[in-house]
Amino acid sequence: MDRIIVEGGHRLQGQVTISGAKNAVLPVLAATLLTAGRNEIHNVPGVRDVTTMLHLVQELGAVGDHIKGDRVTLDTAGVNNPVAPYDLVSTMRASCLVLGPLLARLGEAKVSLPGGCAIGARPIDLHIKGLEALGADITLEKGYVHGIAKQLKGTHHIFDSVTVTGTMNVMMAAVLAEGETILENCAREPEVGFLAEVLNASGAKIEGAGSDKIVIQGVTSLKPINCRILPDRIEAATYMIAAAITGGDVEVLNCNPSHLEAINLKLREAGVGLEERDNSLRVQGNGELLPVHIRTHPYPGFATDVQAQFMTLMTLAKGRSLITETVFENRFMHVAELKRMGADIVIEGHTAMVTGVEQLSGAPVMATDLRASACLVLAGLVADRDTVVSRVYHIDRGYQDMDKKLSQLGAAIRRVR
C-alpha cells in the first residue's frame, strides 16, 4: 500500500501540464463497443480507472492496448460477450457505462450492479429508466442488471434528476436506436458534449449535447472512433487550489478555462489572482485568503468534485465559509481528517461551516475517495509538519503522477511503498 508524505511550507511555482480527463475517457472507452473496428484514443491519462475500464471492454471481447504514454487502441470487431462481471464493476462504478452500448450493439447486457461507494449509495435507477424508455426489458437478478432489447426504439424521455453517466448511457444507446430520441433534463457537463462530438465524428446524429435537451436520430452503424481526450477540468482545479493555498505562482497548462468558470469565480472571491489564456491559466496566491460560501451543483454550477479541495483552501481563510454539498448525500468524509489536522469545521446537515485557522498541523491521514485524498495532500502542502496520506490508490484512480507533478512545482512530497 503506497503512502504519500508531504512536508508543508513550500510555495508552489512553475508550470504544470494537465492530463486528459478521466471522466471523458471512461465513456469514450464504453462507446467503442458501439463500433466494430479499430478505435484509437489519444491523450489518455495513465490512471487506474482507465486500466479498469480497458480490462472491462477486453472482457467483453475487444482487443486492445494502452500504448506507453497516452494512446489506446481497441479493436471491437469481436465484441460478443454481454456480461460485465462483479469483480470488475465493483471496483469502479463507471463500469455501468457499458450498459447502453451493449444493449445497442448485442441486444443484451448483463452488468453487475455497482456497489455504493464512500460518497453515497449511487444507484443507477435513472440509467435503467432511460434504457427502458428506449424499449429495453430490464430485470434485476442476483445483483446483476440484465437487459434485453431486440431493437431499441427512439423515445421522448425526461430524466427525473440530472445524472452525468446516466445521460451518457442513454445517449449512447439511442445512437443505434430506430428513429428519433429526445432526452430532457440532461447533464450539461463538458464531458457529455465531448462524448457526443466523438460519436458524431463516427457517424452518429446527436444535437444539443452539453445543453439540457439532446436530440438523437438513430443510425444503423458507427465508424470506429479516433479522438483526442479533452483536458481534465477537475485535475486543473486541484492544481489551481494547490497554487492558491501555498501562496504560489503557477501556470496550469493544457486546460480549458471556459470549463472552470464557476470555480474561477469563487477563487477570485477568495482573493486568488487568476489570469485566463486560451488553454492555460496563471494562478497567483497572495497570502491573504477570504472566506467564500459555495453550493455544489451540476454543471455549470460549482463542481462537487472540487468541493473537498476548496474546503481545504477555506480552512485557512480569514473568516467563516459555508460549503453545501447538494449532489451526493455523503461527501464530507474528508472533514474528520481535516479536523485532525487542526481545521475548524462544523457540519450541519449538508452544510459544513469552516472557520479559518492560522495554520494546519501535519498528521497521518487517510481518505475514502478520490477527491478527499487530493484535498488531504493539498492540506499537507501547508501543514507545519509532515503529513502522511495513506490509501493513495484512491488518488491513483483519477490523478496521473500527482506526487511527481507537485514536486516539479516545488512541493516536498514523496511516495513510499
Options 59-67, 122-130, 134-142, 317-325: segment touching ligand EPZ (CB under 6 A): 122-130
The SS3 of residue 360 is: strand
Contacts of 348 (CB under 8 A, 6+ apart): none
Q: Which residues, listed in sequence order, are joined to residue 141 by a DSSP beta bridge?
A: 144
Contact status, residue 357 vs residue 344, Cβ threshold 8 Å: yes
Options 3-11, 74-82, 161-169, 201-209: segment touching ligand EPZ (CB under 6 A): 161-169
User: Which residue in the block uniquely carries the three cell numbers 489519444?
Assistant: 42
Q: Is 117 a catalytic residue?
A: yes
Q: Applying CB under 6 A, does 12 fall inside the site for ligand EPZ?
A: no
From candidates 233, 259, 371, 394, binder to ligand EPZ by CB under 6 A: 371
d(CA 224, CA 215): 22
Instruction: Output the smallest distance, CB 221 to ligand EPZ, in A.
Output: 26
Beta strands in 37-107 (DSSP E): 38-42, 63-67, 71-75, 83-84
21: Cα separation from own chain's centroid: 7
Instruction: Tell me, residue by residue from 375 to 414, as one string, x for binding to ligand EPZ by CB under 6 A and - for no binding.
Output: -----------------------x----------------
Instruction: Tell me, residue by residue from 320 to 359, as one string, x for binding to ligand EPZ by CB under 6 A and - for no binding.
Output: -------xx-------------------------------
User: Which residue in the block uniquely carries the three cell numbers 444507446?
Assistant: 173
Contact status, residue 364 vs residue 388, Cβ threshold 8 Å: yes
Q: Applying CB under 6 A, does 157 fall inside the site for ligand EPZ?
A: no
Catalytic residue among 117, 186, 227, 375: 117
CA neighbor of 264 nearest in space, from 302, 311, 295: 302
Instruction: Output the smallest distance, CB 260 to ligand EPZ, in A.
Output: 14
Q: Applying CB under 6 A, does 297 fall inside the site for ligand EPZ?
A: no
Cis ω for the linkage preceding 300 (within 30 of 0): yes
Cβ closest to ligand EPZ, residue 289 vs residue 309: 309
User: Which residue in the block uniquely carries the three cell numbers 498528521?
Assistant: 363
Cβ closest to ligand EPZ, residue 166 vs residue 380: 166
Instruction: Output the smallest distance, CB 391 to ligand EPZ, in A.
Output: 15
Task: State how far the alpha carbon of 113 is from the alpha carbons of 83, 147, 335, in Å.
Answer: 12, 12, 29
List the catalytic residues.
Answer: 117
For ligand EPZ, the binding residues (CB under 6 A) are 23, 26, 93-94, 120, 122-127, 161, 163-166, 187, 304-305, 327-328, 370-371, 398
